[in-house]
Homo-oligomer: A and B are copies of this chain.
Amino acid sequence: MSSVTIHQVAKAAGVSPSTVSNFLNGRPGRMLPETRARVEEAIRNLGYRPNRAARQLRTGRVQVIGLVVPSVANPFWGSFALHLEGAALAHGFRVLLCNSARDPDRERGYIEELWADGIRGVVLCSSLPSLDHVLPLVDQGLNLVAFDRTAQAGDPPSMVNISVDNMIGSQLATGHLLDLGHRRLAFVSGSLRSINRRSRFRGFREALETADVDPDTAIVWTGAPEDKYGDQYGDLDAAGLGRTAAAELLAADDPPTAVVAINDMCALGVSAGIRDAGLRVGEDVSVVGFDDIVLADLAAPPLTTIRQPLADMAAAAFAHLRDAVEGDGPVTGRSLLIRPELVIRESTGPARPL
């Protein structure tokens, strides 16, 4: 149970703690080779591992960044986490992963924990319109990258936003459906109370207007009547949400011939719902997703979607945080807005009468 300390190592090697410390901190040149050998051996024999809390308390530094995502149960966030971790690891950093379920309280709670851990850089994937719950820490010096969220007027200058251009993405998706002749469209999502979701919705309407379709005639589905788990964004079960939506939409009079889903998991759920109703995806009803998760290409039929260049975005997020944390004082914000790409597969096809 008890850990080995630097003193025990020092005694075992017949030297002082500071010599062991020098050895540990990249100054092995400051001692005779034989001393070094003794220290090395003592460390090995005792299985010594420096106590990070003590080290951190002394130096004030930590090579760790935090990552807060809505839910790793969504493979999109799982992949993003993996990419970010890869970038961090390559530079000797670790990443601490937290699931917020987009709950502002939980977000704040986790970020405060990270701050209390001495972590000064975090990637927040939330896109809640207000970041008020987190601003106090930003004021105190927390370096924040808001991922999947675009810059807002009230944002603190030190904050960096990295996101795909959601409006363009959504326009691409909707435009594709319109090009195929669809006129009766549905937009399926959980709560629209996050910035990127609103942008996607705006892109949807914009595209309709451009095609001279009255946006107000489109169907907008934003949540199940009873939301048992407070999962209003459908982050915990995006697929279930989509499936429910499809069931309701197709049971109604004048059902849509195509649906734009808020993300791929939701789109996969919508597809399942369409099949539940005895219809064929891509033939009877078209579906477009957003994200291009691995499973999009695996689905039957493979999902038409909007691709987010995850690896690049993760690398950019880490690079910024590293600069800010290693340097002193925050680097001023250069937000990134990346143009996404439409990937046409087989879940979309020409409109035909139901």
Chain A positions within 8 Å of B, measured between CB atoms, are 1-4, 47, 49-54, 56-57, 71-75, 77-79, 81-82, 85, 94, 96-99, 112-113, 115-118, 120, 136-137, 139-141, 236-237, 239-240, 243, 268-269, 271-272, 275, 281, 294-295, 297-302, 328-329
Contact = CB atoms under 8 A, between A and B. Distances in A.
A116 B297 contact: no
A205 to B, nearest CB: 28
A149 to B, nearest CB: 21
15 contacts: A1-B141, A47-B136, A47-B140, A51-B57, A53-B53, A53-B54, A54-B57, A71-B78, A73-B294, A74-B75, A75-B78, A239-B295, A271-B298, A272-B302, A275-B300
Contacts of A96: 96-97
A117 B53 contact: yes
A186 to B, nearest CB: 19
Contact of A272 (B50, B118, B297): B297
Contacts of A299: 272, 299-300
Count of chain copies: 2
Contacts of A97: 72, 96-97
The residue among A49, A118, A271, A329 with the most chain B CB atoms within 10 A of its own CB is: A49
Contacts of A302: 272
Q: Give 10 nearest A-B pairs by CB, closest first.
A: A72-B78, A1-B141, A300-B300, A97-B97, A53-B53, A53-B56, A52-B116, A73-B78, A272-B298, A53-B57
Contacts of A75: 73-75, 78
Contact of A78 (B2, B78, B298): B78
A74 to B, nearest CB: 7
A122 to B, nearest CB: 14
A268 B78 contact: no
Contact of A300 (B81, B271, B329): B271
Contact of A298 (B1, B74, B140, B269): B269
A200 B297 CA distance: 28
A78 B74 contact: yes
Contacts of A79: 73
